[in-house]
Amino acid sequence: MTETSPLPSSRAPSPEVVPKTMENFDKAYANRIMIVLAAIVMIVLYIEGMLTPSLPTIQSDFHVDEAQVSLIISAYAVSGVALSPVVGKLGDIYGKRKVLIGVMLAYAAAVSVTGFSPDFTFMVVARTIQGVGLTILPVGMALVREEFPRELVPRAQGLLSAMFGIGFAISLPLGSLVSQNYGWRDTYHSSIPFVLLLTILVILTVRESAYRRPGTKVDFGGAVLLGGALAGFVTALAQGEAWGWTSPLTLGFALFGVVLIGPFLLYEARWRRLGREPIIDNRLLAERNVAVTNAVLTVAGLGMYLALFVLIYQFEYPVVSGGFNTAFPSINILNAGLDIIPLAVAMTLVAAAASTVVSKIGVKPLALTGSALTALGFYLVSLSGSLDQTLLDELVIGAGIALLNASVINLLVLTVDPRDMGQATAMNNVFRNLGGSVGAPIAGSLLATYTLTHGVYAGSGLPAHIAFQYAFWIAALVTVVGGIAVVFGQEVLGPRRHAKFAHLPTLSRDGRATPPTGGRVPTAPADGTPIPSAVPSGPAR
């Protein structure tokens, strides 16, 4: 068999595992788990989105202040970010099915009891456990990469990206409707049957991952140190606005995160000297496509959450403040939720379309187009003077976000070896959520700093129009930075993919694998040795 150049990866595939191709993959099973995973992503996004409009009511019910009630959101983010690398690594070692079942059981239990919280402390603890839901997406992405052949992975990833739009589209208006008419507890009660059903479906339908290393020791010491450092950073970012950016609590948590980095690096170095696998493989994170994907989605997450946070406030605040609520001081949360739907619809439709063309066009052209569209949409919104114009601009933003998310993730999943996919997607989830955690506080700080100084609402604390503009301009700028980062990636799809990927087969119009120009489809040798993985791989470490 013709020898090919080694490709960047963390380790070689298991020799006993035959990679999925168009000829040998189980189409019915792959589609089945794709539907289950897509439904899980949608319900997780729905549960998180529906809670946001209910925060004032929860604050009143438990007699807490704004800083305390914000813990309900930050506790979820902190635990999810801290647990992501641990859960991803466990999936690589013991199998992603086992880990996904454990995660779903913990998530279902937390969702089931949160609505019955007797006091605020109980609810914060339940929300902390519920944060494990943030780890579901990276584990699901890793499973999808294993079950679909390389040529169909972009479509599957595009469907998962579309679920973000669908979940977002239904969560705010539906959650607001249930909360206003029945109370915030019923928003949780109504979701319990769906979470339990999806947990059962995972147990019954998902097969165990073929890529795992059960003999590998788990780096629990490194996991605790890394989780603690991430928890410190995210807590400081999430609570900084409520506690005050220079308060002892905020600075203390930030310092806690910084201090743990040193012991973590020393511990991991010692772990490597002993010949064991660390919780985070630095060489994996340093691979070009992995680093580019993490960088792009970090800044994209920052810009997206910053802009979305500001949009919600703009729909609720009066015209004199740069908002669109003509009935202020009356605030209709349901209307604000409905006004965000154009963005979610555009995300859903464009993500689905992008998943079908990215294989032919390539990741980088679509990602660059998505970055440019998103930045343009943010800029147009900053200039908008009417609600109708803003709703149209949302379509541009949603289309751009969908193109960027649905395309750039393929740089990671089509480069990393399946045996390290759990770790790689989990760390990408960490970077994405860190970016989002930064975005909301920046938006809050801008709205609190630039307030009205003239007119009826002078001194009321309402933001001035310039605050909204600054937020959208910053979002546009960081999105452009993300687009620039895409340029440094190695193309993995389309006609101009990097030479290191040129030996991999592509699809012809009839759906069969065909070699690229000047190449040939690898064939199995007579001794039965498996065909080399379609996933780029390098020498085993």
Q: What is the CATH number of the domain that holds 79?
A: 1.20.1250.20
Band of pLDDT at residue 10, cut at 50, 70 and 90: very low
Give DSSP secondary structure letters for 200-235.
HHHHHHPPPPS---TTSPP-HHHHHHHHHHHHHHHH
101-105, 360-364, 397-401, 439-443: least confidently modelled range: 439-443
Q: What's the confidence (pLDDT) of residue 396?
A: 94
Instruction: Report if residue 316 sits inside a domain.
Output: yes
450 HSE (CA, 13 A, CB side):
14
Same domain, yes or no: 417 and 487: yes
Instruction: Answer yes or no: are the C-beta atoms of 238 and 257 closer than 8 Å.
Output: no
Same domain, yes or no: 428 and 481: yes
Work out how many domains the chain is built from and give that number.
2
Q: 293 to each of 136, 352, 409, 466, how far by Cα in Å?
A: 19, 20, 6, 32
Same domain, yes or no: 96 and 188: yes
Please state, for a pLDDT cut of 70, what percent of the chain lies above it. 83
Q: What's the confidence (pLDDT) of residue 15?
A: 47
Q: What's the confidence (pLDDT) of residue 107?
A: 93
242-251, 410-419, 451-460: least confidently modelled range: 451-460
CA distance 381 to 280: 40
Residue with tokens 């149209």: 392
Q: 266 to each of 160, 260, 283, 347, how far by Cα in Å?
A: 37, 10, 16, 43
Instruction: Report if residue 450 sits inside a domain.
Output: yes
pLDDT at 3 over 80: no
pLDDT at 506 over 60: no
Q: 143 to each of 20, 104, 332, 373, 418, how far by Cα in Å?
A: 12, 15, 41, 31, 9
Residue 538: exposure state from Cβ atoms within 10 A (0-12, 13-18, ≥19): middle
Instruction: Answer yes or no: are the C-beta atoms of 271 and 278 closer than 8 Å.
Output: yes
Same domain, yes or no: 47 and 117: yes
CA distance 3 to 486: 30
Please state, for a pLDDT cut of 90, what percent of the chain lies above it. 13
| Boundary residue ending a domain (469, 484, 501) | 501
Instruction: Report if residue 15 sits inside a domain.
Output: no
Instruction: Answer yes or no: are the C-beta atoms of 501 and 364 closer than 8 Å.
Output: no
- Among candidate residues 6, 88, 3, 7, the one with its CA nearest the CA of residue 288: 7
165-169, 382-386, 390-394: least confidently modelled range: 165-169
Average of per-residue pLDDT values in the chain? 77
Interior/surface letters 458-469, b for 16+ CB within 10 angstroms, e for the rest:
eeeebbbbebbb
Same domain, yes or no: 191 and 101: yes
| Boundary residue ending a domain (278, 301, 321) | 278
Band of pLDDT at residue 454, cut at 50, 70 and 90: confident
Same domain, yes or no: 289 and 403: yes
Same domain, yes or no: 313 and 246: no
Same domain, yes or no: 444 and 429: yes
In three-state secondary structure terms, 510 is coil
Instruction: Report if residue 197 sits inside a domain.
Output: yes
Q: Which residues, other chains included, contact 509 with Cβ-Cβ below 8 Å and sequence gap of 6+?
A: none
CA distance 9 to 55: 44
Between 472 and 420, where is the model more confident?
472
Kindly report, residue by residue over 95-114, the tens digit of the pLDDT.
888 889 999 999 999 999 99
Band of pLDDT at residue 7, cut at 50, 70 and 90: very low
Instruction: Answer yes or no: are the C-beta atoms of 463 and 313 closer than 8 Å.
Output: yes
Residue 23: exposure state from Cβ atoms within 10 A (0-12, 13-18, ≥19): exposed
103 HSE (CA, 13 A, CB side):
29
Instruction: Report if residue 534 sits inside a domain.
Output: no
pTM above threshold 0.85: no
Q: Give the mean model confidence (pLDDT) for residues 56-74.
A: 78
Residues paired with 506 in a beta bridge? 514
Q: Give the mean model confidence (pLDDT) for residues 130-159.
A: 79
Same domain, yes or no: 391 and 491: yes
CA distance 56 to 70: 10
Same domain, yes or no: 121 and 197: yes
Instruction: Report if residue 124 sits inside a domain.
Output: yes
The alpha carbon of 119 is separated from its chain's Cα centroid by a whole number of angstroms, namely: 30
DSSP 481: H
The alpha carbon of 303 is separated from its chain's Cα centroid by a whole number of angstroms, namely: 13
Which strand (E) or helix (H) includes residue 95? none
Q: Give the mean model confidence (pLDDT) for residues 386-415.
A: 88
Q: What's the confidence (pLDDT) of residue 499?
A: 42
Band of pLDDT at residue 200, cut at 50, 70 and 90: very high
- Among candidate residues 507, 482, 477, the one with its CA nearest the CA of residue 494: 507
Q: Which residues, other chains included, contact 527 with Cβ-Cβ below 8 Å and sequence gap of 6+?
A: none
pLDDT at 504 over 50: no
pLDDT at 441 over 70: yes
The alpha carbon of 322 is separated from its chain's Cα centroid by a whole number of angstroms, namely: 30
Same domain, yes or no: 102 and 133: yes
Instruction: Report if residue 520 sits inside a domain.
Output: no
pLDDT at 529 over 60: no
Residue with tokens 């859903």: 348
Residue 233: exposure state from Cβ atoms within 10 A (0-12, 13-18, ≥19): buried
Give DSSP secondary structure letters for 121-173.
HHHHHHHHHHGGGGGHHHHHHHHHHHHS-GGGHHHHHHHHHHHHHHHHHHHHH
250-259, 270-279, 397-406: least confidently modelled range: 270-279
Q: 379 to each of 314, 476, 479, how far by Cα in Å?
A: 15, 6, 11
In three-state secondary structure terms, 511 is coil
Query: Rg for the chain (alpha carbons), in Å?
Result: 23
In three-state secondary structure terms, 440 is helix
Q: What's the confidence (pLDDT) of residue 333?
A: 66
Question: Which token pair is 511?
Answer: 């759906």
Residue with tokens 């310039």: 466
Question: Which token pair is 163?
Answer: 């679920």
- Among candidate residues 504, 514, 538, 478, the one with its CA nearest the CA of residue 2: 504
pLDDT at 373 over 90: yes
Residue span of the structural domain in which 228 resides: 219-278
Kindly report, residue by residue over 324-362, the tens digit of the pLDDT.
877 777 666 677 777 888 888 888 888 888 878 888 888
| Boundary residue ending a domain (227, 259, 278) | 278
Between 38 and 376, where is the model more confident?
376
Instruction: Answer yes or no: are the C-beta atoms of 162 and 352 closer than 8 Å.
Output: yes
Looking only at the bridges linking them, the beta strands covering 506-507 and 513-514 are antiparallel
Same domain, yes or no: 363 and 465: yes
Q: Give the mean model confidence (pLDDT) for residues 187-197.
A: 90
Instruction: Report if residue 509 sits inside a domain.
Output: no
